[in-house]
Amino acid sequence: MSVNQSIKPITTEEKANLTIGGCDLVDLAKRYGTPLYVIDEATVRGICRDYKEAFKDYSNIKMMYASKALCTSAITRILDEEGFGFDTVSAGEIYTVFKSGVDMSKVLFNGNNKTASEIELALNCGVGRFSVDNFYEAELLNRIAGEKGKKADILLRITPGIECHTHDYIQTGQIDSKFGFDLSQIDEIVSLIQDKYTNLNLRGLHAHIGSQIFEPQCYYDEVEILVREMARIKEKFGINLDEINIGGGLGVKYTDSDNPPSVTILAEAVTKALDKYSVEPHTIYLEPGRSIISTAGVTLYTVGSSKVVPNGRKYVAVDGGMADNPRPSMYQAEYTAQVANKLQAKNLEKVTLAGRYCESGDILINEIELPKLEAGDIICVFNTGAYNYSMASNYNRVEKPAMVLVNNSLSDIIVYRETLDNLIEHDNIPDRLKKQ
Protein backbone atom coordinates (compact mmCIF):
# COMPACT_ATOMS: atom_id res chain seq x y z
CA MET A 1 0.00 0.00 0.00
CA SER A 2 1.35 3.42 -0.89
CA VAL A 3 0.95 6.39 1.43
CA ASN A 4 -1.85 8.02 -0.61
CA GLN A 5 -4.05 5.00 0.21
CA SER A 6 -3.96 5.73 3.94
CA ILE A 7 -6.33 8.11 5.71
CA LYS A 8 -3.86 8.78 8.53
CA PRO A 9 -0.18 9.75 8.59
CA ILE A 10 2.07 6.69 8.65
CA THR A 11 3.38 7.47 12.15
CA THR A 12 -0.10 7.69 13.75
CA GLU A 13 -0.35 5.75 17.02
CA GLU A 14 -3.01 5.36 19.69
CA LYS A 15 -1.44 5.68 23.12
CA ALA A 16 -2.92 7.54 26.08
CA ASN A 17 -3.81 10.11 23.44
CA LEU A 18 -3.50 10.13 19.67
CA THR A 19 0.10 10.70 18.54
CA ILE A 20 1.69 11.56 15.19
CA GLY A 21 5.42 11.73 14.56
CA GLY A 22 5.93 10.66 18.15
CA CYS A 23 4.13 13.80 19.39
CA ASP A 24 1.04 13.73 21.58
CA LEU A 25 -1.63 15.73 19.73
CA VAL A 26 -3.25 16.95 22.93
CA ASP A 27 0.13 18.31 24.05
CA LEU A 28 0.60 19.98 20.65
CA ALA A 29 -2.81 21.64 21.00
CA LYS A 30 -1.90 22.96 24.45
CA ARG A 31 1.54 24.15 23.36
CA TYR A 32 0.66 25.80 20.04
CA GLY A 33 -3.07 26.46 20.35
CA THR A 34 -5.86 25.49 17.97
CA PRO A 35 -6.83 25.38 15.20
CA LEU A 36 -3.46 23.87 14.36
CA TYR A 37 -2.15 22.36 11.15
CA VAL A 38 0.20 19.44 11.83
CA ILE A 39 2.44 17.96 9.10
CA ASP A 40 4.17 14.60 9.57
CA GLU A 41 7.60 14.74 7.93
CA ALA A 42 7.96 10.96 7.70
CA THR A 43 4.74 10.70 5.70
CA VAL A 44 5.84 13.40 3.25
CA ARG A 45 9.17 11.68 2.67
CA GLY A 46 7.44 8.30 2.50
CA ILE A 47 5.18 9.22 -0.41
CA CYS A 48 8.09 10.91 -2.22
CA ARG A 49 9.97 7.64 -2.01
CA ASP A 50 6.88 5.72 -3.15
CA TYR A 51 6.94 7.78 -6.34
CA LYS A 52 10.66 7.34 -6.88
CA GLU A 53 10.45 3.59 -6.30
CA ALA A 54 7.48 3.19 -8.64
CA PHE A 55 9.31 4.94 -11.49
CA LYS A 56 12.85 3.77 -10.68
CA ASP A 57 13.29 2.00 -14.02
CA TYR A 58 12.50 5.18 -15.95
CA SER A 59 15.36 7.60 -15.40
CA ASN A 60 13.85 10.15 -17.77
CA ILE A 61 10.81 10.69 -15.55
CA LYS A 62 11.23 13.82 -13.42
CA MET A 63 9.06 14.58 -10.37
CA MET A 64 7.78 18.11 -9.84
CA TYR A 65 5.76 18.90 -6.72
CA ALA A 66 2.57 20.87 -7.44
CA SER A 67 3.19 23.71 -5.01
CA LYS A 68 -0.42 24.91 -5.00
CA ALA A 69 -1.34 21.99 -2.71
CA LEU A 70 0.77 23.44 0.11
CA CYS A 71 3.62 25.89 -0.32
CA THR A 72 5.76 26.91 2.65
CA SER A 73 9.51 27.33 2.93
CA ALA A 74 9.97 24.25 5.12
CA ILE A 75 7.83 22.02 2.89
CA THR A 76 9.82 23.26 -0.10
CA ARG A 77 13.08 22.31 1.63
CA ILE A 78 11.83 18.76 2.31
CA LEU A 79 10.68 18.23 -1.29
CA ASP A 80 13.95 19.66 -2.60
CA GLU A 81 15.92 17.24 -0.39
CA GLU A 82 13.84 14.40 -1.84
CA GLY A 83 14.91 15.40 -5.35
CA PHE A 84 11.67 16.95 -6.54
CA GLY A 85 11.34 19.95 -8.82
CA PHE A 86 8.42 22.37 -8.48
CA ASP A 87 5.33 23.28 -10.46
CA THR A 88 4.46 26.86 -9.50
CA VAL A 89 1.46 28.99 -10.42
CA SER A 90 2.16 32.43 -8.95
CA ALA A 91 4.84 34.94 -8.03
CA GLY A 92 4.39 33.92 -4.39
CA GLU A 93 5.15 30.27 -5.09
CA ILE A 94 8.10 31.17 -7.33
CA TYR A 95 9.51 33.49 -4.67
CA THR A 96 9.05 30.88 -1.93
CA VAL A 97 10.97 28.16 -3.78
CA PHE A 98 13.60 30.68 -4.91
CA LYS A 99 14.24 31.93 -1.36
CA SER A 100 14.36 28.32 -0.14
CA GLY A 101 17.48 27.73 -2.23
CA VAL A 102 15.95 25.54 -4.92
CA ASP A 103 17.75 24.99 -8.24
CA MET A 104 15.39 27.10 -10.36
CA SER A 105 16.11 25.12 -13.50
CA LYS A 106 13.88 22.45 -11.88
CA VAL A 107 10.94 24.86 -11.63
CA LEU A 108 7.99 25.20 -14.02
CA PHE A 109 5.75 28.28 -14.13
CA ASN A 110 2.18 27.28 -14.91
CA GLY A 111 -1.15 29.14 -14.92
CA ASN A 112 -3.80 30.55 -17.23
CA ASN A 113 -3.29 34.30 -16.66
CA LYS A 114 0.31 35.07 -15.76
CA THR A 115 0.90 38.77 -15.26
CA ALA A 116 3.78 40.72 -16.78
CA SER A 117 5.33 41.23 -13.34
CA GLU A 118 5.12 37.50 -12.59
CA ILE A 119 6.76 36.64 -15.91
CA GLU A 120 9.55 39.14 -15.20
CA LEU A 121 10.12 37.62 -11.76
CA ALA A 122 10.22 34.11 -13.23
CA LEU A 123 12.76 35.15 -15.86
CA ASN A 124 14.88 37.00 -13.29
CA CYS A 125 14.83 33.97 -10.96
CA GLY A 126 15.87 31.62 -13.76
CA VAL A 127 12.72 29.47 -13.88
CA GLY A 128 13.51 26.49 -16.10
CA ARG A 129 10.21 26.10 -17.96
CA PHE A 130 7.10 28.11 -18.74
CA SER A 131 3.88 26.25 -19.48
CA VAL A 132 2.30 28.59 -22.02
CA ASP A 133 -1.46 28.50 -21.64
CA ASN A 134 -2.86 30.79 -24.34
CA PHE A 135 -2.10 33.13 -27.28
CA TYR A 136 -1.97 36.25 -25.11
CA GLU A 137 0.64 34.73 -22.82
CA ALA A 138 2.78 33.55 -25.73
CA GLU A 139 2.97 37.09 -27.10
CA LEU A 140 3.60 38.59 -23.65
CA LEU A 141 6.32 36.11 -22.69
CA ASN A 142 8.04 36.51 -26.05
CA ARG A 143 8.09 40.30 -25.69
CA ILE A 144 9.35 40.36 -22.09
CA ALA A 145 11.99 37.70 -22.75
CA GLY A 146 13.20 39.71 -25.75
CA GLU A 147 13.44 42.88 -23.69
CA LYS A 148 15.65 40.99 -21.22
CA GLY A 149 17.75 39.42 -23.96
CA LYS A 150 16.62 35.94 -22.94
CA LYS A 151 15.05 32.94 -24.61
CA ALA A 152 12.39 31.14 -22.61
CA ASP A 153 12.07 27.36 -22.73
CA ILE A 154 8.38 26.54 -22.96
CA LEU A 155 5.84 23.75 -23.01
CA LEU A 156 2.43 24.28 -24.59
CA ARG A 157 -0.42 23.40 -22.25
CA ILE A 158 -3.18 21.62 -24.12
CA THR A 159 -6.63 20.36 -23.17
CA PRO A 160 -6.59 16.70 -24.24
CA GLY A 161 -10.35 16.22 -24.01
CA ILE A 162 -10.21 13.71 -21.16
CA GLU A 163 -12.91 13.92 -18.47
CA CYS A 164 -12.19 12.03 -15.26
CA HIS A 165 -14.94 11.24 -12.78
CA THR A 166 -14.11 13.90 -10.23
CA HIS A 167 -15.76 17.12 -9.02
CA ASP A 168 -16.58 19.57 -11.84
CA TYR A 169 -14.49 22.27 -10.19
CA ILE A 170 -11.32 20.17 -10.22
CA GLN A 171 -11.55 18.85 -13.76
CA THR A 172 -9.00 20.55 -16.01
CA GLY A 173 -8.41 18.27 -18.99
CA GLN A 174 -11.84 18.35 -20.61
CA ILE A 175 -12.44 20.39 -23.78
CA ASP A 176 -14.60 23.02 -22.05
CA SER A 177 -11.95 24.34 -19.67
CA LYS A 178 -10.34 27.68 -18.91
CA PHE A 179 -6.91 26.01 -19.15
CA GLY A 180 -4.73 25.47 -22.19
CA PHE A 181 -4.96 25.31 -25.97
CA ASP A 182 -7.61 23.22 -27.64
CA LEU A 183 -6.09 20.66 -29.99
CA SER A 184 -7.57 22.59 -32.92
CA GLN A 185 -5.45 25.61 -31.94
CA ILE A 186 -2.09 23.84 -31.83
CA ASP A 187 -1.06 24.49 -35.43
CA GLU A 188 -1.70 28.22 -35.10
CA ILE A 189 0.38 28.65 -31.94
CA VAL A 190 3.21 26.43 -33.22
CA SER A 191 3.33 28.50 -36.43
CA LEU A 192 3.54 31.72 -34.40
CA ILE A 193 6.39 30.33 -32.28
CA GLN A 194 8.24 29.07 -35.34
CA ASP A 195 7.83 32.22 -37.45
CA LYS A 196 7.29 35.16 -35.09
CA TYR A 197 7.95 34.44 -31.42
CA THR A 198 11.69 33.92 -31.73
CA ASN A 199 12.34 34.39 -28.00
CA LEU A 200 10.42 31.21 -27.19
CA ASN A 201 12.03 27.78 -27.41
CA LEU A 202 9.31 25.12 -27.74
CA ARG A 203 10.41 21.98 -25.87
CA GLY A 204 7.24 19.95 -25.50
CA LEU A 205 3.60 19.61 -24.45
CA HIS A 206 1.88 19.82 -21.07
CA ALA A 207 -1.53 18.53 -20.01
CA HIS A 208 -3.29 18.16 -16.68
CA ILE A 209 -6.46 16.10 -16.53
CA GLY A 210 -7.80 16.97 -13.09
CA SER A 211 -7.47 16.32 -9.40
CA GLN A 212 -8.47 13.54 -6.98
CA ILE A 213 -8.33 11.04 -9.86
CA PHE A 214 -9.14 7.38 -9.17
CA GLU A 215 -8.96 6.11 -12.77
CA PRO A 216 -5.41 5.20 -13.87
CA GLN A 217 -6.63 4.62 -17.44
CA CYS A 218 -6.95 8.41 -17.73
CA TYR A 219 -3.17 8.71 -17.53
CA TYR A 220 -2.64 6.06 -20.20
CA ASP A 221 -5.04 7.92 -22.51
CA GLU A 222 -3.34 11.24 -21.77
CA VAL A 223 0.13 9.94 -22.67
CA GLU A 224 -1.27 8.50 -25.89
CA ILE A 225 -2.79 11.84 -26.91
CA LEU A 226 0.36 13.82 -26.08
CA VAL A 227 2.70 11.44 -27.89
CA ARG A 228 0.54 11.36 -30.99
CA GLU A 229 0.30 15.14 -31.05
CA MET A 230 4.08 15.46 -30.73
CA ALA A 231 4.53 13.07 -33.67
CA ARG A 232 2.05 15.10 -35.73
CA ILE A 233 3.89 18.35 -34.93
CA LYS A 234 7.18 16.77 -35.96
CA GLU A 235 5.74 15.60 -39.25
CA LYS A 236 4.06 18.92 -40.10
CA PHE A 237 6.54 21.46 -38.70
CA GLY A 238 9.79 19.52 -38.48
CA ILE A 239 10.04 20.31 -34.75
CA ASN A 240 11.40 17.45 -32.64
CA LEU A 241 9.79 17.98 -29.23
CA ASP A 242 11.52 16.07 -26.43
CA GLU A 243 9.46 16.76 -23.29
CA ILE A 244 5.96 15.94 -22.10
CA ASN A 245 4.39 16.92 -18.80
CA ILE A 246 1.42 14.78 -17.79
CA GLY A 247 0.47 16.79 -14.69
CA GLY A 248 -0.57 15.16 -11.44
CA GLY A 249 -3.94 14.62 -9.82
CA LEU A 250 -3.63 11.17 -8.22
CA GLY A 251 -6.35 10.75 -5.60
CA VAL A 252 -6.01 10.19 -1.86
CA LYS A 253 -8.13 8.43 0.76
CA TYR A 254 -10.23 10.90 2.76
CA THR A 255 -12.79 8.36 4.01
CA ASP A 256 -13.16 4.58 4.13
CA SER A 257 -15.30 4.68 0.99
CA ASP A 258 -12.45 6.18 -1.08
CA ASN A 259 -10.32 3.72 -3.04
CA PRO A 260 -7.54 5.58 -4.85
CA PRO A 261 -5.04 3.62 -6.95
CA SER A 262 -1.56 3.20 -5.53
CA VAL A 263 1.42 5.07 -6.92
CA THR A 264 2.56 1.74 -8.36
CA ILE A 265 -0.69 1.37 -10.32
CA LEU A 266 -0.31 4.93 -11.60
CA ALA A 267 3.25 4.14 -12.68
CA GLU A 268 2.10 1.02 -14.49
CA ALA A 269 -0.46 2.99 -16.51
CA VAL A 270 2.03 5.71 -17.43
CA THR A 271 4.95 3.44 -18.26
CA LYS A 272 2.74 1.04 -20.22
CA ALA A 273 1.82 3.93 -22.51
CA LEU A 274 5.43 5.14 -22.72
CA ASP A 275 6.58 1.65 -23.70
CA LYS A 276 3.83 1.24 -26.27
CA TYR A 277 4.63 4.52 -28.01
CA SER A 278 8.41 4.32 -27.53
CA VAL A 279 8.80 7.91 -26.34
CA GLU A 280 12.17 7.50 -24.63
CA PRO A 281 14.59 9.21 -24.36
CA HIS A 282 12.15 12.11 -24.01
CA THR A 283 11.92 13.75 -20.58
CA ILE A 284 8.60 13.03 -18.86
CA TYR A 285 7.44 15.35 -16.07
CA LEU A 286 4.97 14.24 -13.40
CA GLU A 287 3.41 16.80 -11.03
CA PRO A 288 1.92 15.19 -7.90
CA GLY A 289 0.63 17.63 -5.30
CA ARG A 290 -2.32 16.42 -3.23
CA SER A 291 -0.96 12.86 -3.11
CA ILE A 292 2.38 14.14 -1.78
CA ILE A 293 1.13 16.29 1.09
CA SER A 294 -2.52 15.54 1.90
CA THR A 295 -2.14 12.38 4.02
CA ALA A 296 0.76 13.94 5.91
CA GLY A 297 -1.44 16.69 7.33
CA VAL A 298 -4.04 16.82 10.07
CA THR A 299 -5.86 19.73 11.67
CA LEU A 300 -6.50 19.98 15.40
CA TYR A 301 -9.54 21.78 16.77
CA THR A 302 -10.92 22.44 20.26
CA VAL A 303 -14.57 21.65 20.93
CA GLY A 304 -16.74 24.54 22.12
CA SER A 305 -20.53 24.86 22.08
CA SER A 306 -23.16 22.32 21.07
CA LYS A 307 -26.90 22.24 20.40
CA VAL A 308 -29.62 19.73 19.61
CA VAL A 309 -32.25 20.81 17.08
CA PRO A 310 -35.88 19.60 17.27
CA ASN A 311 -35.37 16.83 14.69
CA GLY A 312 -32.67 15.33 16.88
CA ARG A 313 -29.54 16.37 14.99
CA LYS A 314 -26.75 17.44 17.33
CA TYR A 315 -24.32 20.13 16.27
CA VAL A 316 -20.93 20.40 17.96
CA ALA A 317 -18.91 23.50 17.14
CA VAL A 318 -15.13 23.72 16.97
CA ASP A 319 -12.84 26.74 16.95
CA GLY A 320 -12.14 26.61 13.20
CA GLY A 321 -14.02 25.72 10.06
CA MET A 322 -14.48 27.02 6.54
CA ALA A 323 -11.75 29.67 6.79
CA ASP A 324 -9.04 27.10 7.53
CA ASN A 325 -10.69 24.33 5.45
CA PRO A 326 -13.00 25.62 2.71
CA ARG A 327 -13.18 22.29 0.85
CA PRO A 328 -16.40 20.94 2.46
CA SER A 329 -18.20 24.16 1.49
CA MET A 330 -16.67 24.39 -2.00
CA TYR A 331 -16.52 20.74 -3.07
CA GLN A 332 -18.76 18.92 -0.58
CA ALA A 333 -15.51 17.25 0.51
CA GLU A 334 -15.74 14.58 3.21
CA TYR A 335 -13.28 13.92 6.01
CA THR A 336 -12.50 11.46 8.80
CA ALA A 337 -11.91 12.54 12.41
CA GLN A 338 -11.04 11.21 15.86
CA VAL A 339 -11.18 12.66 19.35
CA ALA A 340 -7.51 12.81 20.25
CA ASN A 341 -8.09 12.67 24.02
CA LYS A 342 -10.85 10.01 24.15
CA LEU A 343 -9.46 6.99 22.37
CA GLN A 344 -10.94 4.43 24.77
CA ALA A 345 -14.39 6.00 25.11
CA LYS A 346 -17.29 3.67 24.24
CA ASN A 347 -20.32 6.00 24.53
CA LEU A 348 -20.51 7.03 20.87
CA GLU A 349 -23.04 9.47 19.46
CA LYS A 350 -23.74 10.81 16.01
CA VAL A 351 -22.94 14.51 15.68
CA THR A 352 -22.37 17.11 12.99
CA LEU A 353 -19.09 18.99 13.40
CA ALA A 354 -19.76 22.65 12.70
CA GLY A 355 -17.36 25.52 12.24
CA ARG A 356 -17.32 28.83 14.07
CA TYR A 357 -17.95 31.07 11.07
CA CYS A 358 -21.10 33.05 10.30
CA GLU A 359 -22.32 30.81 7.48
CA SER A 360 -24.94 28.07 7.68
CA GLY A 361 -22.80 26.08 5.24
CA ASP A 362 -19.81 26.09 7.58
CA ILE A 363 -19.95 22.36 8.31
CA LEU A 364 -16.73 20.34 8.57
CA ILE A 365 -18.19 16.83 8.83
CA ASN A 366 -21.84 15.81 8.56
CA GLU A 367 -23.09 13.16 11.01
CA ILE A 368 -20.00 11.39 12.27
CA GLU A 369 -19.97 8.95 15.18
CA LEU A 370 -17.65 10.14 17.95
CA PRO A 371 -17.34 9.71 21.70
CA LYS A 372 -19.64 12.03 23.65
CA LEU A 373 -18.00 15.44 23.22
CA GLU A 374 -17.42 18.09 25.82
CA ALA A 375 -16.00 21.58 25.62
CA GLY A 376 -12.21 21.37 25.58
CA ASP A 377 -11.96 18.05 23.75
CA ILE A 378 -9.42 17.95 20.90
CA ILE A 379 -10.68 16.87 17.48
CA CYS A 380 -8.17 15.60 14.91
CA VAL A 381 -9.37 15.83 11.29
CA PHE A 382 -7.24 13.70 8.98
CA ASN A 383 -5.93 14.27 5.47
CA THR A 384 -5.89 18.06 5.57
CA GLY A 385 -2.38 18.65 4.24
CA ALA A 386 -3.52 19.66 0.75
CA TYR A 387 -5.62 22.72 -0.09
CA ASN A 388 -6.44 23.64 3.50
CA TYR A 389 -3.75 26.11 4.48
CA SER A 390 -3.20 27.03 0.84
CA MET A 391 -6.87 28.03 0.45
CA ALA A 392 -7.32 29.49 3.94
CA SER A 393 -8.78 32.95 4.41
CA ASN A 394 -9.35 35.57 7.08
CA TYR A 395 -13.12 35.33 6.82
CA ASN A 396 -14.84 37.01 9.78
CA ARG A 397 -11.46 38.70 10.38
CA VAL A 398 -10.12 35.59 12.11
CA GLU A 399 -6.38 34.88 12.27
CA LYS A 400 -5.01 31.98 10.20
CA PRO A 401 -3.72 28.99 12.21
CA ALA A 402 -0.13 28.01 12.90
CA MET A 403 1.49 25.00 11.26
CA VAL A 404 3.93 22.62 12.93
CA LEU A 405 6.16 19.92 11.50
CA VAL A 406 6.54 16.75 13.58
CA ASN A 407 9.22 14.10 13.32
CA ASN A 408 10.88 11.71 15.79
CA SER A 409 9.00 13.20 18.76
CA LEU A 410 10.09 16.74 17.85
CA SER A 411 7.78 19.57 16.80
CA ASP A 412 8.76 22.79 15.07
CA ILE A 413 6.69 25.75 13.95
CA ILE A 414 6.91 26.16 10.18
CA VAL A 415 4.16 28.80 9.88
CA TYR A 416 3.49 31.16 12.77
CA ARG A 417 -0.06 31.81 13.94
CA GLU A 418 -1.34 35.13 12.73
CA THR A 419 -1.99 37.82 15.32
CA LEU A 420 -4.64 40.52 15.52
CA ASP A 421 -1.98 43.02 14.55
CA ASN A 422 -1.22 40.94 11.43
CA LEU A 423 -4.86 41.36 10.43
CA ILE A 424 -4.64 45.15 10.37
CA GLU A 425 -1.02 45.71 9.37
CA HIS A 426 -1.93 46.38 5.73
CA ASP A 427 -4.98 48.50 6.53
CA ASN A 428 -4.81 52.24 6.00
CA ILE A 429 -7.10 55.02 7.19
CA PRO A 430 -7.03 58.03 4.83
CA ASP A 431 -6.17 61.32 6.51
CA ARG A 432 -9.69 62.65 5.91
CA LEU A 433 -11.10 59.82 8.06
CA LYS A 434 -8.66 60.05 10.92
CA LYS A 435 -9.85 61.35 14.24
CA GLN A 436 -8.73 64.90 14.84
Query: Per-residue pLDDT for 170 more than 50?
Result: no
Residue of 315, 341, 327 whose CA lies nearest to 383: 327
Topology, domain 41-293:
TIM Barrel (3.20.20)
DSSP string, 139-189: HHHHHHHHHTT--EEEEEEEE-----SS-GGG--SSSS-SSSEEGGGHHHH
The answer to whether 358 is a known catalytic residue is yes
Q: Is 14 exposed, middle or buried (0-12, 13-18, 19+ CB in 10 A)?
A: exposed
Per the CB < 8 A criterion, the answer to whether 33 and 402 are in contact is yes
Q: In whole angstroms, what is the distance from residue 211 CA to residue 171 CA?
A: 6
Domain ranges of the chain: 41-293, 297-424
**DSSP state letter for 407:** E
- pTM across the whole model: 0.94
Distant-in-sequence, close-in-space partners of 175: CB < 8 Å, separation ≥ 6: 159, 161, 182
Q: In whole angstroms, what is the distance from residue 90 CA to residue 184 CA?
A: 28
Per the CB < 8 A criterion, the answer to whether 77 and 96 are in contact is no
Q: In whole angstroms, what is the distance from residue 242 CA to residue 204 CA?
A: 6
Query: How are beta strands 181-182 and 36-40 bridged, if at all?
Result: unpaired
pLDDT tens sequence across 246-296: 999 999 999 999 999 999 999 999 888 888 876 655 899 999 999 999 999
pLDDT tens sequence across 16-68: 999 999 999 999 999 999 999 999 999 999 999 999 999 998 888 999 999 99
Topology, domain 297-424:
Lyase, Ornithine Decarboxylase; Chain A, domain 1 (2.40.37)
**Catalytic, out of 48, 71, 358, 380:** 358
